[in-house]
Amino acid sequence: GESVGLHLPTLSVQEGDNSIINCAYSNSASDYFIWYKQESGKGPQFIIDIRSNMDKRQGQRVTVLLNKTVKHLSLQIAATQPGDSAVYFCAERGGYQKVTFGIGTKLQVIP
Amino acid sequence: GAVVSQHPSWVICKSGTSVKIECRSLDFQATTMFWYRQFPKQSLMLMATSNEGSKATYEQGVEKDKFLINHASLTLSTLTVTSAHPEDSSFYICSAPGQGAIYGYTFGSGTRLTVV
């Protein structure tokens, strides 16, 4: 959904545990959703995506769940590693191929 | 895979001057380029959409005369921050729908602008 300029919430996870990052999106007409990882000073890096006609998609160590009823998206990271520490954004595609980003969550992995 | 090259990666300029940021699609043609701005510890905010051969479309609240966008070719889109002020200091990122991937988007590496 549209970011309202709030500061990023932080999720701290012990190394080896699973992480769940949640996101609420705003546009019920969005047809495609993406999770991005952003490290400091760099552009967003694609993690996984899901189309609106699906409710779950799995990648390597990551799973995205989509609940259109409540406009909720989640990213699950299995066996979280220190290299997973970054800021994670959900994004939705609406009209004119525009991709808008959610607020983001900072993931801190505790060794 | 599709690559968008963004330059410069960082720039420092004096208040009142203009700065141009370039994004090039290296191995595909980008008829559309999205420009984002990101303030520290905040999300990416869509500023505008550039379209090759036509005028850019700006999001609500973004000043057209301050953020000039040009998309003169299928491989180059530019954002010029005119009469820059310290409050324009931010991280600017471009993004294009990727070639060969119906839904994929490719991002540039970003430009850190600091106005002093």
B82 CA: distance to closest CA in chain A (Å)? 23
> Is A42's CB within 8 Å of B109's CB?
yes
- Where does the pLDDT of residue B103 fall: very low under 50, low under 70, confident under 90, or very high at 90 and above? low
Residue A1 pLDDT > 50, yes or no?
Answer: no
Over pLDDT 70: what percentage of chain B? 94
Q: What is the mean pLDDT of residues A63-87?
A: 97
Nearest 5°: phi and psi at B111?
Answer: -130, 120
CA distance B23 to chain A (A): 13
Choose between B11 and A103: higher pLDDT. Answer: B11
Span B18-31, pLDDT tens digits: 999 999 999 888 88
Residue B86 vs residues A7, A41, B92, B115: alpha-carbon distances, Å: 20, 19, 14, 5
Closest C-alpha among B57, B27, B37 to residue B111: B37
Point out the least confidently predicted range of A6-10, A54-58, A83-87, B30-34. A6-10
| Amino acid B113: pLDDT | 98
pLDDT number for residue A14: 97
- Say if residue B8 is preceded by a cis peptide, omega within 30 of 0: yes
User: Does pLDDT of A26 surpass 90?
Assistant: no
Average pLDDT, chain B: 91
Q: Is A1 on the interface with B (CB under 8 A)?
A: no
- Let me know: does B10 contact B19? Beta carbons within 8 Å: no
Residue B105: its pLDDT value, please?
A: 85
Touching B: A residues 20-49, CB under 8 Å:
32, 34, 41-46, 49
Kindly state whether B101 is in contact with chain A, defined as any CB-CB distance less than 8 angstroms.
no
Per-residue pLDDT reduced to its tens digit, B69-90: 999 899 999 999 999 999 999 9
pLDDT > 90: percent of chain B: 78
- Does residue A89 belong to the interface with chain B, where contact is any CB pair within 8 Å? yes
Give the up-direction half-sphere exposure of residue B116: CA atoms within 13 A in the CB hemisphere: 4
Question: Which pLDDT score, from 0 to 100, does residue B104 have?
Answer: 72
Q: Which residues of A touch B41 (CB under 8 A)?
A: 7-8
Q: Is residue B53 left, alpha or beta, with left meaning phi > 0 and alpha meaning psi from -120 to 50?
A: left
Angstrom distance (rounded) from CA B26 to CA B106: 11
Residue A4 has pLDDT above 50, yes or no: no
Residues of chain B neighbouring A46 (CB-CB closer than 8 A): 104-105
- The pLDDT of B56-69, averaged and rounded, is 95
DSSP A79: S
Q: Do B43 and A89 touch (CB under 8 A)?
A: yes
Alpha carbon distances (Å) from A96 to A46, B47, B62, B83: 20, 14, 18, 30
